């Protein structure tokens, strides 16, 4: 194993294994190893273009870097004898191309701007991939909704039957929340996609570098201009982590409802076996384990965010090694979110909704009492609070029928509803859950027409967001292809 090129001048001896492992970020740097090669290529091309290093060194360095890119990084660059993959790659590359060229790779930069650039590069891809998964989930939810505009079910507050709604309306509640979660990820993406390269240790450099050119070659939309901010800021990681934690909170709520709905206590959904486990002792069991794990992983992602916030909040400018410890939290959090969203999409997409059972439950627990009170307001001239009192008293007496309402009207308001024209047919209609849903057609409500309007808006948003992701992926891919093509062109 070659010695760490970074260390040999200043410090004596090698570190004992446990100290080296404690210091090294190599294990977590697997996330950014490939990105580091691209950053190196962009940097070398820029050094050549600016006349900072000669053509023969540019060629030798790019030959080595392209070979490493094509063949894949050797395992040795991740050896914890190196403080990180940046030192690992520089050491390995120098062994490949010689000190004359290899020793020029790090001109005008530091690992501080290097690591921040690599993280942003990788995070950019991760965010697009995660946002893509969120689109797939949104799509499945809107598909279920469009098939279930008429599928009435009970809606709950405090987990008590509250008012009837539809499965479509319920699914679109989640589709709406996931649309915002998507937006938060993409907002963060805009601030991730900026280049800190050229900030060097923190005070930039005296070489005539061209920061715009490395930024453009790497497909960044702009610079992180202030060089101290560029190396020390990690809000670019906090923001996506926080967006992922919020996204996971939404995902966890949906998972939680599916767990509840799949219980024989409720019986609203039958999950596909693929997402379930059984018991080692109870032969009858079919447990919704994947969704339970998702619920727990939402807590883990929130924990990654908490840890990351804790790491940065007390750090002075500029770079401090604490920052290295933040990266694994970022990668784990984003990765957990992506896997979880994919699993959830599969679980929801393959679930069988027990619409008959939902319909049978829709009117239970007095869930149409609000509509009954509203009917007394709209058609029989009562103030809402009076109508609320009358219906509430009928519920309390266990007599939610014409006779019960008549008695409650006399007791609570001193009036006869029958005299005002209330009859059994009108009471029955008000107590019908479908009727309750049908009249709730205000924007955003569960009435089929209102749900169709929501579906249209959400579907349009989905198309727009899908196009944005495709465009961004293409833009990034074109930049990286261009970078590789430029590197190959130089080496001939
Ligand atoms: N492995 C380091 C990190 O992840 C790279 C930067 C090291 N810089 C330094 N001054 N020690 O942050």
148 has catalytic annotation: no
Residue partners of 31: CB distance under 8 A and separation at least 6:
122, 327, 331
Q: Find the mean pLDDT for residues 128-148.
A: 98
Q: What is 160-190 written as a DSSP string?
A: EEEEEEEHHHHHHHHHHHHHHHHHHHHHHHH
pLDDT at 10: 85
Residue 222's H or E segment, with its range, is strand 222-223
User: If you take atom 1 of ligand 1, which residue's CA is the nearest one?
Assistant: 84
Mean per-residue pLDDT over the chain, rounded: 97
Q: Find the mean pLDDT for residues 449-468.
A: 98
Q: Is the CB of 106 under 6 A from ligand 1?
A: no
Q: Find the mean pLDDT for residues 30-39.
A: 98
What distance in angstroms lies between residue 115's CA and the mean position of ligand 1's atoms? 7
Q: Is the CB of 214 under 6 A from ligand 1?
A: no
CA distance 353 to 342: 20
Count CB neighbours of 460 within 10 A: 10
Q: Is the CB of 268 under 6 A from ligand 1?
A: no
- Check 158, 264, 389, 459 and give the catalytic one: 158
Q: Pick from 20, 25, 79, 113 the residue to mutate for probing ligand 1's pocket: most ligand atoms within 8 Å of its CB.
A: 25
Percentage of the chain with pLDDT > 90? 97
What distance in angstroms lies between residue 485's CA and the mean position of ligand 1's atoms? 29
- As a whole number of Å, the CA-based R_g of the chain is 31
What distance in angstroms lies between residue 237's CA and the mean position of ligand 1's atoms? 15
Q: Is the CB of 324 under 6 A from ligand 1?
A: yes
What's the per-residue H, E or C state across 41-68? HHHHHHHHHCCCCCHHHHHHHHHHHHHH
User: If you take atom 10 of ligand 1, which residue's CA is the nearest one?
Assistant: 112
pLDDT at 58: 98
Residue 419's H or E segment, with its range, is none
pLDDT at 1: 54
Distances (CA, A) of 316 to 224, 321, 322, 336: 18, 11, 11, 30
Question: pLDDT digit string (tens) for 202-233?
Answer: 999 999 999 999 999 999 999 999 999 999 99
Q: Does the pLDDT value for residue 85 go beyond 90?
A: yes
Q: Does the pLDDT value for residue 476 go beyond 80?
A: yes
Q: Pick from 5, 35, 84 the residue to mutate for probing ligand 1's pocket: most ligand atoms within 8 Å of its CB.
A: 84
What distance in angstroms lies between residue 114's CA and the mean position of ligand 1's atoms? 9
Q: What is the pTM of this model?
A: 0.97
Q: How confident is residue 9, by pLDDT bands cut at 50, 70 and 90? A: confident
**Cross-strand partners of 222:** 194
- The residue to which tokens 């994919």 are assigned: 342
- Check 148, 252, 262, 279 and give the catalytic one: 279
Q: How confident is residue 16, by pLDDT bands cut at 50, 70 and 90? A: confident
User: If you take atom 2 of ligand 1, which residue's CA is the nearest one?
Assistant: 324
Q: Is the CB of 323 under 6 A from ligand 1?
A: yes
Q: Is the CB of 389 under 6 A from ligand 1?
A: no
Q: Find the mean pLDDT for residues 347-370.
A: 97
Q: Does the pLDDT value for residue 360 go beyond 60?
A: yes
User: If you take atom 12 of ligand 1, which residue's CA is the nearest one?
Assistant: 324
Q: Is the CB of 322 under 6 A from ligand 1?
A: no
pLDDT at 2: 62
* Cis previous bond, 369, omega within 30: no
pLDDT at 11: 87
CA distance 197 to 412: 75
pLDDT at 6: 80
pLDDT at 387: 98
158 has catalytic annotation: yes
Q: Pick from 111, 329, 331 the residue to mutate for probing ligand 1's pocket: most ligand atoms within 8 Å of its CB.
A: 111
Q: Is the CB of 117 under 6 A from ligand 1?
A: no
Residue 474 has which token pair? Answer: 């293409």
pLDDT at 485: 98
CA distance 138 to 126: 18
CA distance 97 to 7: 20
CA distance 18 to 20: 5
Q: Does the pLDDT value for residue 201 go beyond 90?
A: yes
Q: Find the mean pLDDT for residues 365-393.
A: 97
pLDDT at 12: 83
Q: Does the pLDDT value for residue 186 go beyond 80?
A: yes
pLDDT at 5: 75
Residue partners of 206: CB distance under 8 A and separation at least 6:
none
Residue 2 has which token pair? Answer: 């070659």
Residue 401 has which token pair? Answer: 């029928």
Q: Find the mean pLDDT for residues 31-37.
A: 98
């Amino acid at each position: 194993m070659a010695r760490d090129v970074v260390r040999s001048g200043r410090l004596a001896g090698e570190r004992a294994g446990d100290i080296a492992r404690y210091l090294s970020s190599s294990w977590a740097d697997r996330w950014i190893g490939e990105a580091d090669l691209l950053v190196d290529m962009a940097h070398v091309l820029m050094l050549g273009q600016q006349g900072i290093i000669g053509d023969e060194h540019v060629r030798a360095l790019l030959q080595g870097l392209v070979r490493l890119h094509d063949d894949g990084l050797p395992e040795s660059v991740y050896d914890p004898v190196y403080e990180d993959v940046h030192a690992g790659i520089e050491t390995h590359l120098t062994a490949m191309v010689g000190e004359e060229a290899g020793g020029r790779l790090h001109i005008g930069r530091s690992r501080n701007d290097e690591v921040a650039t690599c993280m942003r590069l990788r995070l950019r891809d991760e965010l697009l991939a995660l946002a893509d998964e969120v689109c797939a989930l949104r799509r499945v939810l809107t598909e279920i909704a469009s098939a279930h505009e008429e599928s009435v079910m009970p809606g709950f507050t405090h987990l008590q039957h509250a008012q009837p709604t539809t499965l479509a309306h319920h699914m679109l509640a989640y589709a709406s929340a996931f649309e915002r979660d998507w937006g938060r990820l993409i907002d963060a993406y805009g601030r991730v996609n900026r280049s800190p390269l050229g900030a060097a240790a923190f005070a930039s450099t005296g070489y005539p570098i061209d920061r715009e050119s490395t930024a453009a070659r790497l497909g960044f939309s702009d610079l992180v201009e202030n060089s101290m901010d560029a190396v020390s800021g990690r809000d670019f990681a906090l923001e996506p982590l926080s967006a992922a934690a919020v996204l996971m909170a939404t995902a966890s709520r949906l998972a939680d409802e599916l767990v509840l709905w799949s219980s024989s206590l409720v019986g609203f959904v039958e999950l596909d076996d693929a997402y379930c486990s059984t018991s080692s002792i109870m032969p009858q069991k079919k447990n919704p384990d994947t969704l339970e794990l998702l619920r727990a992983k939402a807590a883990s992602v929130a924990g990654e965010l908490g840890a990351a916030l804790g790491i940065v909040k007390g750090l002075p400018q500029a770079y401090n090694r604490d920052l290295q410890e933040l990266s694994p939290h970022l990668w784990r959090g984003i990765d957990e979110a992506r896997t979880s969203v994919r699993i959830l999409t599969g679980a929801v997409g393959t679930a069988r909704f027990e619409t008959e059972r939902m319909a049978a439950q829709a009117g239970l627990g007095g869930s149409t009492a609000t509509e009954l009170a509203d009917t007394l307001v709209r058609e029989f001239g009562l103030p809402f609070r009076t109508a609320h009192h009358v219906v509430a008293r009928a519920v309390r007496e266990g007599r939610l029928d014409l006779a019960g309402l008549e008695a409650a009207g006399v007791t609570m308001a001193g009036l006869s509803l029958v005299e005002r024209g209330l009859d059994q047919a009108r009471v029955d209609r008000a107590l019908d859950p479908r009727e309750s849903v049908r009249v709730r057609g205000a924007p955003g409500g569960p009435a089929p027409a209102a749900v169709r309007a929501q579906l249209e808006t959400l579907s349009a948003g989905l198309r727009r967001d899908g196009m944005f992701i495709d465009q961004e992926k293409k833009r990034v891919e074109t930049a990286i292809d261009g970078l590789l093509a430029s590197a190959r062109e130089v080496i001939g």
